[in-house]
Structure 1
Amino acid sequence: MMNIEILYEDRDIIVCVKPHGMPSQSDRSSAMDMISWIKNHLAAESGKKGGFYVGAVHRLDRPVAGVMVYAKTKKAAEDLSRQFSAHTTEKYYLALLTGKMAQEQGKLENFLQKDGRTNTSSVVASGGKKACLEYRILGEKDGLSLAEIHLNTGRHHQIRVQTAYAGAGIYGDMKYNSDQTDMWKKEHGVERAKTELCLFAWRLVFEHPSLHKRMIFKVLPKTGRMCIDEWPCLSYYE
């Protein structure tokens, strides 16, 4: 079974680090997803074959890695779902951007519209749903910027769409920022191999559904272009 880091687990919840490329829950593909992996983990730990409840209360896009919480009871799922719907949770990401934002820190506000046929979202002048995020630049080098992003809303592909619209899309995002990613790779002599989307959910804050205490989980990328070896400024967040 794939080795996935578990940050915390009790009878109500389990907090894991989702790998790049793994679905948050089952989809049309036959790939292993997080819920199936957690059920296999619970079976291996308990010696039982099945009957486990695992509830998804939020999601990360398949190419995005990072901290996620799953509910192990229906009651916990209802409580956590309310928190995410009410935006009382806190979600922070690290993103590697191609280019520079207009300011070192600021807020992006747009209206996004989803196209279900293409599974994409775009910024629209009218209609759509309001999307808001806050960002601050942690470092810059070689034409790339490392940013911390705090999501105020949770729209479809929000960070990817809004940063690309602002002129500094995410490195490795071949859906919204392919031209700039390919240009950077060409300028820096990087082979045209499959490129990992450089977006990582590094910090998650919520209230425990039964203990009613504030839970804070954080983890930094251990490999790739956003690790500490590439960006020493991240040592402050360890």
Structure 2
Amino acid sequence: MMNSRVLTVSEPGERLDTWVASSCPEISRAEARRLIEAGLVRVGGRTVRGSRRLAAGDVVEIDAPEPAQTGLQALGLPLVILYEDADVVVVDKPAGVTVHASPGHHDDTLVNVLLAHYPEIGSLSELRPGIVHRLDKDTSGVMMVARNAAAEQELARQIKDREVEKTYLAIVIGRVAPAEGVVEAPLGRHPRDRKRRAIVEGGREARTRYRVLTQGPAAALLEVGLETGRTHQIRVHLAAIGYPVLGDPIYGRRSEAIARQALHSLRLAFRQPQTGELVVVGVEAPEDFRRALDAMGLCVPDSR
């Protein structure tokens, strides 16, 4: 069976294949290209190339095959549930856990654990069922997951339209000045290392807000707000202004104070997909993060 949908473009300038993948969380960019090449994606009723730049108001029709039940295995590990209703579950993701299947990680991901608790999400997509946003493997904290297709589409829309508030805690190296600010710089793949992201001309718009909560002699605790949600955004932006995240092995350096990057998803605010009611969910930083604060001479805030 085919799953057909009609969507309207709100922001101009994005490539069709990129836009389809970002607008439909169950469709990867590679899958979007295949659908476009097969004539299953139309703009204004016509088939076009994936490189076509979209204009505001363009109407995009997408015909995608219904996903088969996922072949991923359920993993019966504990799951800390912060909030749940019929449409959404919000969990406390531990550091060290990959969100969804990737090279080297197929049966030991957060998705595998979710399938054991919420088997119904297995019908949503092949490898990323219910996943509408991600946290890096070594980032801890609040993360939401859709429980049905309608919720998945609505939450993805809220994220795309920047209606979801994402707040993080980050321990960074250095004495931060000014004490609050905004980093606005486009992000894309690093020109020489495809596993890294970098500030690149022509990259995707990215905007990060920060403010100092506690300043120590050689490190600071920041509250960070994401206005966009690009891969590694906080880590790249803070490193770019001279304040790399403590323990970040890619954009900074490893630390004896913590065995991962000191980044924690503190709070999410979103609208319940059916009722529109505001939902705010938060969780305090885990023990390793709090030990790192102490090691760096920083006081521990009330992170709720």
- Per the normalisation by structure 1, the TM-score is 0.84
**1:42 pairs with 2:118:** yes
Q: Counterparts of 1:20-35 in structure 2 under 5 Å?
A: 20-30=95-105, 32-35=108-111
Counterpart residue number, 1:201? 265
Structure 1 residues 229, 111: closer, same or farther in 2, change over 3 A?
closer
Structure 1 range deviating more: 217-226 or 22-31: 22-31
Question: Relative contact order (alpha carbons < 8 A, sep ≥ 6): 1 or 2 greater?
Answer: 1
Deviation at 1:229, TM superposition (A): 7.8
2:301 aligned residue: 234
Structure with greater Cα Rg: 2
Is the CA contact (8 Å cut-off) linking 2:290 and 2:300 kept in structure 1?
no
| Partner in structure 2 of residue 176 of structure 1 | 251
Aligned pairs for 1:137-216 within 5 A: 137-178=212-253, 181-182=254-255, 185=256, 195-216=259-280
Query: Partners in 2 of 1:100 and 1:232 — Cα distance?
Result: 15
Structure 1 runs not aligned, ≥5 long = none
In 1, the alpha carbon distance for the partners of 2:190 and 2:79 equals 32
* Contact persistence 1:92–1:149 (CA under 8 A): yes
Shift of 1:2: 2.8
Of 19, 25, 47, 2:94 maps to 19
The alpha-carbon distance between structure 1 residues 52 and 127, as it changes in their structure 2 partners (threshold 3 A), is: closer
Deviation readout 1:48-69 (Å, 9 max, x if unpaired)? 9x96654111111111111011
- Report the Cα distance in structure 2 between the residues aligned to 1:160 and 1:7, rounded to whole angstroms: 25
- Structure 2 SS opposite 1:226: helix
Secondary structure of 2:150 counterpart: helix
State the distance in 2 between where 1:34 and 1:220 align: 19
> What letter matches 2:209 in structure 1?
E
Are the counterparts in 2 of residues 138 and 233 from structure 1 also a CA contact under 8 Å?
no
Match of 1:4 in 2: 79
Per the alignment, residue 109 of structure 1 pairs with: 184
CA change 1:91–1:227 in 2 (3 A) is farther
Structure 1: 4+ residue segments shifted above 6 A: none
Instruction: Describe the shift of the 1:93–1:36 C-alpha distance in structure 2 as closer, same or farther (beyond 3 A).
Output: same
CA RMSD after TM alignment: 2.3
Contact 2:176 2:215 in 1 (8 A): no
Q: Compared with structure 1, are the counterparts of its residues 100 and 4 closer, same or farther at alpha carbon in structure 2 (3 Å cutoff)? A: farther
Length, aligned pairs only = 220
Distance 1:228 1:51, change over 3 A: closer
- In the TM superposition, residue 225 of structure 1 has moved relative to its aligned partner by 3.3
Confirm or deny that 1:123 pairs with 2:187.
Answer: no
SS at match of 1:56: coil
Deviation at 1:142, TM superposition (A): 4.3
Report whether the alignment pairs 1:90 with 2:170: no
Structure 2: runs of 5 or more not aligned:
1-75
1:69 corresponds to which residue?
A: 144
User: For the Cα contact (< 8 Å) 1:98–1:144, is it kept in 2?
Assistant: yes
Are 2:130 and 1:55 aligned? Answer: yes
Tell me which residue corresponds to 2:209: 134
More strand by share: 1
Deviation at 1:101, TM superposition (A): 2.3
Distance 1:98 1:55, change over 3 A: same
